[in-house]
Amino acid sequence: MILINGREENHLSARDRGLQFGDGIFETMAVHGGRALCLQRHLKRLAGGCARLAIALPERAVLEEECARVSAGAARAVLKLIVTRGTGGRGYAPAEGAEPTRILARYPWPQYAAELHRNGVRVRVCETRLGRNTRLAGIKHLNRLEQVLARMEADFRQCHEGLMLDDRDNVIEGIMSNVFVYRRGRLCTPDLSECGVAGIMRELVLETSKEVTGFDAEIGRLGIPDLLAADECFLSNSLIGIWPISAIEETSLRVGSVAQTLRKHLVEHGIIASD
Amino acid sequence: MILINGREENHLSARDRGLQFGDGIFETMAVHGGRALCLQRHLKRLAGGCARLAIALPERAVLEEECARVSAGAARAVLKLIVTRGTGGRGYAPAEGAEPTRILARYPWPQYAAELHRNGVRVRVCETRLGRNTRLAGIKHLNRLEQVLARMEADFRQCHEGLMLDDRDNVIEGIMSNVFVYRRGRLCTPDLSECGVAGIMRELVLETSKEVTGFDAEIGRLGIPDLLAADECFLSNSLIGIWPISAIEETSLRVGSVAQTLRKHLVEHGIIASD
């Protein structure tokens, strides 16, 4: 089911700036028991992204109602919400007074095997790098060619995620996830001030780590050697919740208790669904 | 008029990867006397972009026929041709065997005043920078948020184009054009191996400069001080042809004969239309 500006439709204007320039942002939410999880957090991030790109924000009540409509009746599903700057002419300049376009679509829940969050996942290091741009960093915008190219090089029969680096060899994120490294009582996730997407699950781990694990979570600079030297590493996003990393390329990593403790907490609080 | 996969339609699937990820490329062509100028060069560049992004290239004869259909009967117009990776599911991984989407649209010719190519244009320096990524550099792809943000900060009532720099203060291009600098018998345009769009008109100037002006055109590294110290600077793209730069911010530049000589040559060879 797809809802475009509140109407059940599968097609949108070819003049939409989302298509023409990737001029929009999106949210990907887990739907459980007919409702989107962490909806308010997602809508808050959406508002932040719209503000940074100067895209008019659709009314919150409208977004809430449409998210509820698309989620209704789905035991488990994925809800993708796109907001674009709306339709326009040929050039880069936005049309004056253009209304943003809302596109909500429901997708099947990806059937990740339950052992992935218990036993961990293998990741590879992508050759495709992330360009740095402070104006766009952190925003879940529609310019996602870097992720597409990275995804195409990572053979997901051999691994479950690809790590993406910037041009300075900093690990920034997974193709579809954020990264955490735990070592000696310190939990750290990459700084996203120059590139990367600031995920909702990353935000939740940063907020709750101290209370849940006893360890402060901080933002810092991490390279592949830091991951290889870690006591444990894990990935986060709104669909997978938390996945421990069991191997980076050919090097095995320990699947430890920090990731499990965090995941248990998120499940108990209804933030991610149990299997 | 819009043609989507050969049919006159205004709407395309909301599942198209052009919308979902900016997963596609485009060409912008001048239409004069019912036909697209430099069509073969544009189709060649399109093929190169598709190859680099591993997007299946639509058949050349099909593209030629559709460009002809959309251009037919237009004395002057703009033809924008988009090719996306086609429709897909929610994730970054392309669907196997997906057919690319072809979107051709005709737009009104922008009525640039004739004095712009005679007297030159004022440009400003954009605060929005270009991220560097060798995998995407040079390609006219659909991830154009940097240009959108730059265009929104440049008040085109005060100027006609914005110059875009990378994070190392290299001048890379204009928001919608390429840049050339002439000084002491040397014509230079920025290296686009890390960011920027390699324009068709830039390619033509590089190819013909020696023959037309007597000066070799080369690719190099340029900063704003180089532009300010130049004997003349100019912009190029497929619609404007050649525009001399008459001022950068508050500093006036000399409008010289190199840009005029090149423009005259391009007009005489039917590469750009005279006014």
Looking at the structure, give the CATH architecture of the domain made up of residues A2-108: 2-Layer Sandwich (3.30)
pLDDT surpassing 90 at residue A273: no
Question: A2-108 and A115-268: same fold?
Answer: no
Contacts of B36 (CB under 8 A, 6+ apart): B29, B30, B42, B67, B68, B71, B79
| Distance of alpha carbon A176 from alpha carbon A199, whole angstroms | 9
A54–B contact, CB cutoff 8 A: yes
Check if the interface score ipTM surpasses 0.90.
yes
Among B182, B184, B179, B191, CA closest to B221: B191
Q: How many CB pairs under 8 A join A and B?
A: 179
pLDDT surpassing 80 at residue A157: no
The pLDDT tens digits for A181-225 are: 999 999 999 999 999 999 999 999 999 999 999 999 999 999 999
Catalytic residue among B66, B161, B173, B232: B173
Residue A254: exposure state from Cβ atoms within 10 A (0-12, 13-18, ≥19): middle
Closest residue to A19, CB basis, from B16, B85, B150: B16
- Domain ranges, ordered by start, for chain B: 2-108, 115-268
A15–B contact, CB cutoff 8 A: yes
Cβ–Cβ gap B19/A15 under 8 Å: no
Closest residue in B to A2 (Cα) is: B14
Cβ–Cβ gap B92/A148 under 8 Å: yes
Q: Confirm whether B28 is a catalytic residue.
A: yes
What count of other Cβ atoms lies within 10 Å of the Cβ of residue B76? Answer: 15
User: Residues of B with CB below 8 A from A23's CB?
Assistant: 144-145, 148
Tens-binned pLDDT, residue by residue, of chain B (275 aa): 899 999 999 999 999 999 999 999 999 999 999 999 999 999 999 999 999 999 999 999 999 999 999 999 999 999 999 999 999 988 999 988 889 999 999 999 998 888 999 999 999 999 999 999 999 999 999 999 999 999 999 777 789 999 999 999 999 999 999 999 999 999 999 999 999 999 999 999 999 999 999 999 999 999 999 999 999 999 999 999 999 999 999 999 999 999 999 999 999 999 988 76
User: Residues of B with CB below 8 A from A20's CB?
Assistant: 82, 142, 144
CB of A197 closer than 8 Å to CB of A136: no
Closest residue to A142, CB basis, from B21, B85, B133: B21
CATH topology for B115-268 is D-amino Acid Aminotransferase; Chain A, domain 2 (3.20.10)
Residue-level pLDDT at B232: 97
| Distance of alpha carbon A148 from alpha carbon A127, whole angstroms | 12
* Averaged pLDDT, A150-175: 93
Element spanning B205, H or E: helix B200-213
CB of B190 closer than 8 Å to CB of B221: yes
What region does B6 belong to: left with phi over 0, alpha with psi -120 to 50, or beta?
Answer: left
pLDDT band at residue A52 under the 50/70/90 scheme: very high
First to last CA, chain A: 24
User: Residues of B with CB below 8 A from A105's CB?
Assistant: 14-15, 90
User: Residues of A with CB below 8 A from B195's CB?
Assistant: 131
Closest residue in B to A128 (Cα) is: B135
Closest residue in A to B88 (Cα) is: A107
